[in-house]
Structure 1
Amino acid sequence: MEFFSETRAALLESDPRKKGALVEQLYTNLKQNKLTFDHDAPVSLFEQPSYAPIVQIVRPRDVPKRRHFDNREGQGILLHAIAHIEYSAIDLALDSAYRFRHMPREYYRDWIEVADDEVRHFRMLEELMKKAGVRYGDYPVHTALFDAGKKSGKDILERMAVIPRYLEANGLDANPKIIRKLRNSPPDAMLDAIAEALEVILEEEVVHVAKGDRWFKYVCAQRGIDPSVYFEIIERFYPGMEKRHPQLNIEARRAAGFACEELKRMGAEKCE
């Protein structure tokens, strides 16, 4: 079995159950050294997300708003939105492993491990969606994460900056806010279960961002570039976003590899 062809097969699969099984088998085979690596094999470009056949795709502004968590419909919308992020994260991790060649073996293991984690997150949310009477695909979704992956797919330095170090790191800031809102709501078993799931995801996403930080800095070192180029990259992709980081999760970002000088440049008043 060849690593890149197996990764491509998992990436293209749209059925969540089949995709999860393919990722698990891929990760198992990788850990057991059952895969060969043909770094010179052609790289396919993906023009549409793998989930396109099973969901309705709309503009971001047309996605149902996550506002009311005190009823099953609001909870279902929240769970569906987070599940879509996790599904998209599976593909982004697979794509990062598939697209970029001639990296150390640890690079590929890191991103397949991330994909395996995201599969577990998706399944955890899927179980909660069932309790809320919702299935993945019941609500429309947007392609913002897929689009970001596509735009950052030409250069591994840009990919590591944009996806794990920017977008996923932003999730480290946003996740605690949702958890607090859920915990501050009137007692509800479903809200408690959602909060617990988000706490698991938050803890493990710190590790995912740290992997992106590791490989971002690895490529910077290989090219003789100062890691501060991160801000130039983000400004190029998201103009004006450098300091738009309200309520930074300093602890999580520090654990993921961000330096205090970076966080202060993003607007942090205190950092140790």
Structure 2
Amino acid sequence: MRSLRDGAARAIRAADLDLKADLAQEAARRWSERRLSLRSPLDTPVPSRPGRPEKPELIPPQRVPRRALTTLRGRIALLHAIAHIELNAVDLALDIVARFATERVPNSFFDGWMRVAFEEAKHFRLVRNRLRDLGADYGDLPAHDGLWQAAHDTRNDLTARLAVVPLILEARGLDVTPALQEKMRQSGDDASAAVLDIIYEDEKGHVAVGAKWFRFLCAREGKDPARAFQDLVRANFRGPLKAPFNDVARAEAGLTPSFYRSMTASVNI
């Protein structure tokens, strides 16, 4: 890889998921050791869509089946959905690095997002390995493409990307994961719950990275962060923000209720 932007773009482009995770983590390691420049004239172009294997089949979100976690099939379906989310999260973190490598931000911005990319690749591998323990694999079930749509919709605006991806999509994980952890344990699947424990703790840090840099950009532009967030959500996010909210975990990450509480019924559907 010629630079951080090149390494990130190559990882996004990779359709082999083991290779994608390897490239993401190797780029993160080289960048943290300052063995890569941020960009070079010969960088791989940032792809408009990430590389993917033939499976899973991508279908509309409303067609993705839901199953009870009390059954093995239900737990596999949940883990498959989480694996799909984590895979998209790898590409989303890489895309914010590669696509916005010319943005006027400190190098510590890229430090934070490459740590996120490294950890999302770790999460994908953990969940995929757990699926394999249960006799399944990623790709066995259909999935939806809604997460990447958020990247496409905010491809030209870094502040909008930060509002939508970490401060809505990743923050939603903080809301729903504790109940999933508990349900896994109630079903006797402590191994899957332990994987969710790791993801939950890491995701607090990922939301914090988003909140830090969103506030940074708002301060530079002289904008109130909560009001700017609300304006960007109305303009760039499809659908309402869903309660209940994990206010404590969100606040730990720097996302206070002033950002989102008034948005639950005011976002255009």
**Which TM-score applies when normalising by structure 1?**
0.89
Q: How far is the alpha carbon of 1:238 from its aligned partner?
A: 3.3
Paired letter, 1:27: A
Paired letter, 1:56: E
What is the match of residue 36 of structure 1? 37
Q: Which runs of 5+ in 1 are unaligned?
A: 268-272
**Counterpart Cα distance in 2 of 1:47 and 1:92:** 12
Cα deviations by residue, 1:149-174 (Å, 9 ceiling, x for unpaired): 11011100000000000111111101
Please, which moves more after superposition, 8-17 or 204-213? 8-17
What is the match of residue 82 of structure 2? 82
1:113-124 alignment, distance < 5 Å:
113-124=115-126
What is the match of residue 156 of structure 2? 154
Q: Is residue 261 of structure 2 the alignment partner of residue 246 of structure 1?
A: no
Q: Is residue 25 of structure 2 the alignment partner of residue 24 of structure 1?
A: yes
**Counterpart Cα distance in 2 of 1:53 and 1:212:** 31
Cα deviations by residue, 1:210-254 (Å, 9 ceiling, x for unpaired): 00001111111122221121011112233662xx43221011000
Percent identity over the alignment is 32
Residues 7 and 97 in structure 1, CA contact (< 8 A), matched pair in contact too: yes
Q: How far is the alpha carbon of 1:44 from its aligned partner?
A: 4.0
Q: Is residue 117 of structure 2 the alignment partner of residue 110 of structure 1?
A: no
Paired letter, 2:76: G
Q: How far is the alpha carbon of 1:71 from its aligned partner?
A: 2.7
Residues 170 and 203 in structure 2, CA contact (< 8 A), matched pair in contact too: yes
Q: How far is the alpha carbon of 1:12 from its aligned partner?
A: 0.7
Cα deviations by residue, 1:105-155 (Å, 9 ceiling, x for unpaired): 111111111010011111111111011111111111111110111101110
Which one of the candidate residues 199, 204, 211 is aligned to 1:213?
211
Q: Which runs of 5+ in 2 are unaligned?
A: 265-269
Paired letter, 1:211: V
Residues 3 and 43 in structure 2, CA contact (< 8 A), matched pair in contact too: no
Paired letter, 1:76: I
**Counterpart Cα distance in 2 of 1:5 and 1:106:** 18
Please, which moves more after superposition, 174-183 or 256-265? 256-265
The root-mean-square deviation of aligned C-alpha atoms, in Å, is 2.0
What is the match of residue 254 of structure 2? 257
**Counterpart Cα distance in 2 of 1:54 and 1:68:** 23
Paired letter, 2:255: F
Assess, with a 3 A threshold, how the Cα gap between structure 1 residues 160 and 260 changes in structure 2: closer, same or farther. same
Aligned length: 260
**Counterpart Cα distance in 1 of 2:253 and 2:183:** 24
**Counterpart Cα distance in 2 of 1:230 and 1:98:** 23
**Counterpart Cα distance in 2 of 1:232 and 1:182:** 37
1:1-272 alignment, distance < 5 Å:
1-38=2-39, 44=45, 46-51=47-52, 53-65=54-66, 67-100=67-100, 101-102=102-103, 103-185=105-187, 188=188, 191-227=189-225, 228-238=227-237, 241=240, 244-262=241-259, 264-265=261-262
**Which TM-score applies when normalising by structure 2?**
0.89
Please, which moves more after superposition, 229-238 or 119-128? 229-238
